[in-house]
Structure formats: structure tokens, C-alpha cells
Amino acid sequence: MSDDRFDQGMAVRRSVLGDAHVDRAESNKTPFDEDFQRYITENAWGCVWTRPGLDKPTRSLLTLALLAAQGHWEEFAMHIRATRNTGATPDDIKEMLFHVAVYAGVPAANRGYAIAKQTYQEMEDADGGNT
């Protein structure tokens, strides 16, 4: 069961974050964190993201809202980049950040807007303006 969950989790992780990101993360694993990395892949990606109840754009928005509410800005930027693969749109992100403002505070939403804008600009620059 665990290997199936890991394989399913790795497939979803790659579909959301992209092969390049996952390949970098996998190549940076050490014996110190390999069990933790497996745990994340099996549980976050293999248990939660594979459930049938929500589609990828909704899961993406929920993830972003929770990361913003908790101030996990590096992960927030990573998941903004992942919206390219999940189908959550910039308009979706704008609306989600209004919810963050009401339920988690204006400072969290304000920082979320700033990071989203910066990340979208970086994505556009990397694509040569084709984002």
C-alpha cells in the first residue's frame, strides 16, 4: 500500500510542481531528510491531493490560502508557480487573497499579493513574456 501511495503521490507531485522542481528536490535529498520527503510524497501528495472530492484548481487555492495565512512565503511562491499546472488563474488568486484578508488578516493578504505579483513577473520573464 505504501509504495502505491508513494507512486501516486509522486505522479501528482510531478503534475502539480513540474518535473524540474521535483527532480531538483529529489537530487537534494540526503539520508537526513529522505524519510521526511517520502512522508510528504505519500501523505500530502498521495493521500490528500489524490482524493476525488476536489479538483486541482480548488486544492491549489486552498493550499495557497493556508500558506498565506501561516506566512509560509517560500512555499506560497512555489505554489503560485504551480498554478501553471493546476489551472488556478490569476483572477482566482486575487479572489482567494480577499478571503485571506478577511479571515487571516490584511497583512497576510498584502504580502500574498506582493509575492504573487513578483512570482508572476518572474514566470513571465522566464517565458520571454509569453505567460
Same domain as 128, residue 76: yes
Amino acid at 8: Q
Helix, strand counts (H, E) of the chain: 7, 0
Same domain as 130, residue 76: yes
pLDDT above 80 (res 130): no
Number of domains in the chain: 2
Same domain as 91, residue 77: yes
| Residue 8: domain span | 1-53
pLDDT above 90 (res 127): no
Same domain as 97, residue 65: yes
Same domain as 112, residue 80: yes
* Total-model pTM: 0.91
Q: State the sign of the Cα–Cα–Cα–Cα dihedral 128, 116, 70, 42.
A: negative
The CATH number covering residue 101 comes to 1.20.1290.10
pLDDT tens-digit readout, 9-64: 999 999 999 999 999 999 999 999 999 999 999 999 999 999 999 999 999 999 99
Residue of 125 and 130 predicted with greater confidence: 125
pLDDT tens-digit readout, 72-126: 999 999 999 999 999 999 999 999 999 999 999 999 999 999 999 999 999 999 9
What pLDDT does residue 1 have? 59
Same domain as 119, residue 129: yes
Same domain as 71, residue 12: no
Same domain as 67, residue 31: no
Supply the DSSP string of 27-48, one letter for each residue: HT--TTTHHHHHHHIIIIIIII
